[in-house]
Amino acid sequence: MLAENIRALRKKLGYTQEQIAEYLGVSAAAVTQYETEVRVVPSATVTKLALLFNVDEFELYQENPEQQQLLSAFAFRADELKPQDLKSISEFKKIVLNYFHLSNELNKNE
Protein backbone atom coordinates (compact mmCIF):
# COMPACT_ATOMS: atom_id res chain seq x y z
CA MET A 1 0.00 0.00 0.00
CA LEU A 2 2.87 2.41 0.79
CA ALA A 3 4.35 2.14 -2.70
CA GLU A 4 0.95 2.63 -4.34
CA ASN A 5 0.20 5.69 -2.21
CA ILE A 6 3.57 7.30 -2.90
CA ARG A 7 3.11 6.84 -6.65
CA ALA A 8 -0.55 7.95 -6.62
CA LEU A 9 0.08 11.07 -4.54
CA ARG A 10 3.16 12.03 -6.55
CA LYS A 11 1.20 11.78 -9.79
CA LYS A 12 -1.90 13.48 -8.38
CA LEU A 13 0.17 16.45 -7.24
CA GLY A 14 2.10 16.60 -10.50
CA TYR A 15 5.58 15.83 -9.18
CA THR A 16 8.09 13.93 -11.27
CA GLN A 17 10.21 11.15 -9.85
CA GLU A 18 13.23 13.37 -10.47
CA GLN A 19 11.74 16.20 -8.39
CA ILE A 20 10.91 13.82 -5.55
CA ALA A 21 14.40 12.30 -5.76
CA GLU A 22 16.08 15.69 -5.51
CA TYR A 23 13.83 16.70 -2.60
CA LEU A 24 14.67 13.46 -0.78
CA GLY A 25 18.36 13.52 -1.69
CA VAL A 26 18.22 10.16 -3.47
CA SER A 27 18.41 9.01 -7.08
CA ALA A 28 15.40 8.87 -9.37
CA ALA A 29 16.04 5.12 -9.56
CA ALA A 30 15.53 4.91 -5.78
CA VAL A 31 12.14 6.64 -6.10
CA THR A 32 11.18 4.16 -8.83
CA GLN A 33 12.20 1.34 -6.51
CA TYR A 34 10.11 2.79 -3.67
CA GLU A 35 7.10 3.03 -5.96
CA THR A 36 7.48 -0.53 -7.23
CA GLU A 37 8.26 -2.13 -3.85
CA VAL A 38 11.73 -3.19 -4.99
CA ARG A 39 13.31 -1.18 -2.18
CA VAL A 40 12.13 -0.56 1.38
CA VAL A 41 11.30 3.08 2.04
CA PRO A 42 13.33 4.34 5.04
CA SER A 43 11.26 5.86 7.84
CA ALA A 44 12.98 9.25 7.44
CA THR A 45 11.92 9.22 3.79
CA VAL A 46 8.33 8.38 4.74
CA THR A 47 8.38 11.38 7.09
CA LYS A 48 9.59 13.73 4.34
CA LEU A 49 7.04 12.40 1.84
CA ALA A 50 4.21 12.75 4.33
CA LEU A 51 5.10 16.41 4.84
CA LEU A 52 5.33 17.06 1.12
CA PHE A 53 2.06 15.24 0.39
CA ASN A 54 0.28 16.83 3.37
CA VAL A 55 -0.68 13.57 5.05
CA ASP A 56 0.12 11.89 8.34
CA GLU A 57 2.79 9.23 7.98
CA PHE A 58 0.42 6.41 8.95
CA GLU A 59 -1.94 7.45 6.14
CA LEU A 60 0.70 6.55 3.59
CA TYR A 61 0.31 2.95 4.75
CA GLN A 62 -3.45 2.69 4.36
CA GLU A 63 -6.17 3.20 1.81
CA ASN A 64 -8.24 6.29 2.56
CA PRO A 65 -10.31 7.79 -0.29
CA GLU A 66 -11.59 10.65 1.88
CA GLN A 67 -8.04 11.76 2.57
CA GLN A 68 -7.34 11.75 -1.17
CA GLN A 69 -10.19 14.22 -1.69
CA LEU A 70 -8.78 16.49 0.99
CA LEU A 71 -5.36 16.39 -0.62
CA SER A 72 -6.68 17.63 -3.93
CA ALA A 73 -7.59 20.92 -2.23
CA PHE A 74 -3.90 21.28 -1.36
CA ALA A 75 -2.51 20.30 -4.74
CA PHE A 76 0.44 22.49 -5.61
CA ARG A 77 1.16 21.88 -9.27
CA ALA A 78 4.79 21.00 -9.90
CA ASP A 79 5.25 22.38 -13.41
CA GLU A 80 8.27 24.57 -12.67
CA LEU A 81 9.26 23.89 -9.09
CA LYS A 82 12.79 23.99 -7.79
CA PRO A 83 14.07 21.71 -5.00
CA GLN A 84 13.86 24.58 -2.50
CA ASP A 85 10.22 25.11 -3.49
CA LEU A 86 9.43 21.52 -2.47
CA LYS A 87 11.06 22.09 0.90
CA SER A 88 9.06 25.29 1.41
CA ILE A 89 5.83 23.57 0.41
CA SER A 90 6.42 20.69 2.81
CA GLU A 91 7.20 23.12 5.66
CA PHE A 92 4.03 25.10 4.91
CA LYS A 93 1.95 21.94 4.78
CA LYS A 94 3.38 20.85 8.12
CA ILE A 95 2.20 24.11 9.69
CA VAL A 96 -1.27 23.69 8.18
CA LEU A 97 -1.45 20.05 9.28
CA ASN A 98 -0.45 20.98 12.84
CA TYR A 99 -3.11 23.69 12.86
CA PHE A 100 -5.69 21.20 11.60
CA HIS A 101 -4.83 18.71 14.36
CA LEU A 102 -4.86 21.42 17.01
CA SER A 103 -8.26 22.65 15.85
CA ASN A 104 -9.63 19.11 16.02
CA GLU A 105 -8.33 18.68 19.56
CA LEU A 106 -9.83 22.00 20.67
CA ASN A 107 -13.18 21.04 19.14
CA LYS A 108 -13.12 17.73 21.04
CA ASN A 109 -12.65 19.60 24.33
CA GLU A 110 -15.62 21.92 23.81
| pLDDT of amino acid 45 | 96
Residue 78 neighbours by CB under 8 Å, 6+ apart? 13, 14, 15, 16, 19
| pLDDT of amino acid 19 | 94
For residue 89, pLDDT beyond 50: yes
Full residue range of the structural domain in which residue 53 is found: 2-109
**Axis crossing angle, helix 43-53 with helix 2-13, rounded to the nearest 10:** 30
Q: Which CATH number belongs to the domain containing residue 87 in this structure?
A: 1.10.260.40
**Residue-wise pLDDT tens digits, 47-83:** 999 888 888 888 888 776 445 555 555 555 556 677 7
**Residue-wise pLDDT tens digits, 16-42:** 999 999 999 999 999 999 999 999 999
pLDDT band at 103 (very low <50, low <70, confident <90, very high): confident
- CA-to-CA separations, 22 to 37, 70, 82, in angstroms, rounded: 20, 26, 9
Q: How many domains does the chain have?
A: 1
Averaged pLDDT score across all residues of the chain:
82
| pLDDT of amino acid 26 | 97
> 49 with 89: CB under 8 angstroms?
no
- CA-to-CA separations, 4 to 36, 52, 87, in angstroms, rounded: 8, 16, 23
Phi-psi region of 76 (alpha: psi -120 to 50; beta: other; left: phi over 0): beta
